[in-house]
Amino acid sequence: MTATVSGHRGLDLEEPLLFELDTPGVSGIDEPEPEPGPTRLGGLEREGPIGLPGLSEPAVVRHYTRLSRRNYSIDAGMYPLGSCTMKYNPRLNERMARLPGFADLHPLQPEKTVQGALAVMAELGRWLCALTGLPAVALSPAAGAQGELCGLRAIRAALRERGELDTRRVVLVAESAHGTNPATAAACGFKVEAVPADARGRMDRAAFRARVGADVAAVMLTNPNTCGLFESDAPELARALHDAGGFVYMDGANLNALVGRVRAVDLGADAMHINLHKTFSTPHGGGGPGAGPTVLSAALAPFAPLPVLWQEEAGWRLIETMDGARARGLSPFGRLSGFHGQFGVFVRALAYLLAMGRDGLRQASGDAVLNANYILAGLSDVLSASYPGPCMHEALFDDRFLKDTGITTLDFAKAMIDEGFHPMTMYFPLVVHGALLIEPTETESRATLDQFIAVMRDLALRARAGDQAAFKAAPRLAPRRRLDETQAARHPVLRWAPPPSSGASSDESSFRTAPLSSNP
């Protein structure tokens, strides 16, 4: 590929920073010079120029529009990230969240003026309780990880009340768990112990039973687990722990595989977070916002965090104080956030639930599992499946199929980009080597899945045929090739500095974009 004079490729324009596009003196607005008058800044006036770039309005619009087209999204194509549930979120739910009666509320409005919004929260909570079989829900956690914190803090409070907090110090965590599980348990002051998986990729029953005892506060079990497998022994494991006085925390991030079919209560869960942004329709690229409502058993419900949504004769209330909660027989462990949670996400989730209905949710989980098994079946003879099927909502492969090719999972993923597919989740879960974790979700059509499978098969065969150089050079067609991700993570340069004026020696720490001809 030859470099172009402009640095552009086809209609894919190179994109400098706004500061690099600076044309001094140019402005999109025309403001009169302020009248001179007395200063009220007490001598703190800026002395030098402010340093904002000069740009016309179209230059700014084009800059951001071009950047937005670089943003790969579920609206542009398949997003097979396992463990993330990147599914299409119906536009209708976005419209509902933007209705002025919802979008323009302020959290400090008097309760009597937001009765409809509180009723939306209560109705969402009712659905979440019905779908999981647990009687109570805390809506305020802002993400799955904070939902875990909510659940474990409630468990801690229950143990304290029983006088067992000093003796039950251990939280058992599945070896394949998402990193947030051990982090949460540790943040709550517990000692984390991993429980290994057996040859079937499920929590090892014997190892678990051997470890259960009077020092165990809880187990954190993901179901289906991060290998995409149903923990079919969950009820038996839960019974063993309950008999020994411990609690079961179920990581519900993978509820998309179970919703409408299996209830958390029937798997023995005492607490479980639900990632609304994974299962119930909220776009979650770019880190949020999400929401992680946490359902709780009757034994844990009194410890749910403030504010507590409460119905009284006069209408819905948010109980905001410890005294208010105690007066109603509750003992919250504290508070997780300033207000009541991510209201816009609640509206999207409820709109989705109402549009889908119980039968639609059941079909969605069925289709999600069917699609993942279609991929597992379509690729098992060329990639190495880590466990025999059937799987649940995601299919897990490892890098044994790349043995002796000199090609890594990372190289393989980069080659997928040239083929127009966002890579799957790589190197997670950690329990298999060089993991490729693929979650198609229920919203991909059979045509898309067939094309994805064809691409993956072709790449696998090319890798096996020894086309190492091509894989190492991928991606060839992306705006940027391979970035130094280690350098970017270890030494992030978050501040732009003007390039040194001529003659000055170059300043190592100042940020400069890559040269325009970075695509050879």
Ligand X SMILES: *Cc1c(COP(=O)(O)O)cnc(C)c1O
Contact pattern for ligand X over residues 232 through 251, marking x by CB under 6 A: -------------------x
For the record, the structure tokens of 175 come out as 């070896």
CA-nearest of 234, 271, 230 to 249 is 271
Site string for ligand X, 59-98 (x = CB under 6 A): ------------------------x---------------
State in angstroms the smallest separation of the CB of 394 from ligand X.
10
Closest CA to 226 of 364, 366, 81: 81
13 touches 66 (CB < 8 A): yes
CB of 434 to ligand X, least distance (A): 19
Show the CA angle centred on residue 266, arms to residues 264 and 267, nearest 5°: 65
Q: Applying CB under 6 A, what is the total number of residues that bind ligand X?
A: 13
Report how far residue 221's alpha carbon sits from residue 213's, in angstroms, rounded to the nearest whole number.
17
Site for ligand X contains 178 (CB under 6 A): yes
Question: Alpha-carbon distance 332 to 156, whole Å?
Answer: 11
Q: Which residues of 497-511 are buried (b: 16+ CB within 10 A; e: fewer)?
A: eeeeeeeeeeeeeee
CA 446 – CA 374 distance, rounded (Å)? 9
**According to the binding rule CB under 6 A, does residue 114 interact with ligand X?**
no
Cβ burial of 485 (10 Å; 0-12, 13-18, 19+) is: exposed
Nearer to ligand X, 173 or 361 (CB): 173
Binds ligand X (CB under 6 A): choice among 125, 144, 151, 305: 144
**Among residues 125, 182, 283, 292, which is the contact residue for ligand X, using CB under 6 A?**
292
- Cβ-proximal residues to 520 (8 Å cutoff; 6+ apart), any chain: 1, 3
Is 143 among the residues that bind ligand X (CB under 6 A)? yes
**Which of 83/443 has CB closer to ligand X?**
83
Cα 277 from Cα 352, distance rounded (Å) = 11
Answer yes or no whether residue 231 interacts with ligand X by CB under 6 A. Answer: no
211 belongs to the binding site for ligand X (CB under 6 A): no
Tell me which of 180, 279, 371, 405 binds ligand X, using CB under 6 A.
Answer: 180
Range in contact with ligand X (rule: CB under 6 A) among 140-148, 213-221, 324-332, 447-455: 140-148
CB-wise, 264 or 460, nearer to ligand X?
A: 264
Task: Using the rule CB under 6 A, give the single segment among 1-9, 64-72, 137-145, 235-243 that binds ligand X.
Answer: 137-145
**Binders of ligand X in range 257-286 (CB under 6 A):** 275
Take residue 477 and report the two structure tokens written for it. 């067609």
Could you say which of 155, 218, 229, 253 contacts ligand X (CB under 6 A)? 253
Closest by Cα among 333, 264, 275 to 84: 275
Minimum distance from residue 365 beta carbon to ligand X (Å): 16
- Residue with smaller CB distance to ligand X, 147 or 434: 147
Using the minimum distance from each CB to ligand X, give the nearer residue, 203 or 474. 203
Q: How far is the CB of 377 from ligand X (least distance, A)?
A: 24
Give Cα 80 to chain centroid, integer Å. Answer: 13
> What string of H, E and C letters represents the secondary structure of 301-338?
HHHCCECEEEEECCEEEEECCHHHHHHCCCCCCCECCC
Strands annotated E in 42-188: 136-138, 170-174
- Residue of this chain nearest to ligand X (CB atom): 144
Chain residues that interact with ligand X, rule: CB under 6 A: 83, 143-145, 178, 180, 222, 226, 251, 253, 275, 290, 292
